[in-house]
Amino acid sequence: ARGFWVTVAGDGLPYCGPPWRIDGGGWSLRRAAPRLGEDTDAVLGEWAGYGGDRIAALRAEGVVA
């Protein structure tokens, strides 16, 4: 009744709502939490500097999802 639980379009899972309420603005839920492995390529490629072949090898070995 107080709107504590919110959902993201296309996700359907409940997430905790805003930690505060301010009339006319404030908090919003922009996107759903990433799924397992959803950001793996970006993290390994951009942050760790691994190439596509190395990421594919790690995935084939079962090291990453």
**pLDDT class for 64, splitting at 50, 70, 90?**
very high
What are the tens digits of pLDDT across the range 5-41? 888 877 788 888 877 777 767 777 778 888 888 999 9
Is the pLDDT at 4 greater than 90? The verdict is: no
Please tell me the predicted confidence (pLDDT) of residue 50.
Answer: 97
Helix, strand, or coil here: 62? Answer: coil
CB atoms closer than 10 angstroms to residue 55: 18
* pLDDT value at 63 more than 80: yes
CA distances from 6 to 14, 20, 26, 54 (A): 6, 14, 15, 39
Reply yes or no on whether the pLDDT at 58 is more than 90. Answer: yes
Position 38, amino acid: E
Q: Output the CA torsion sign for 2, 4, 9, 13.
A: negative
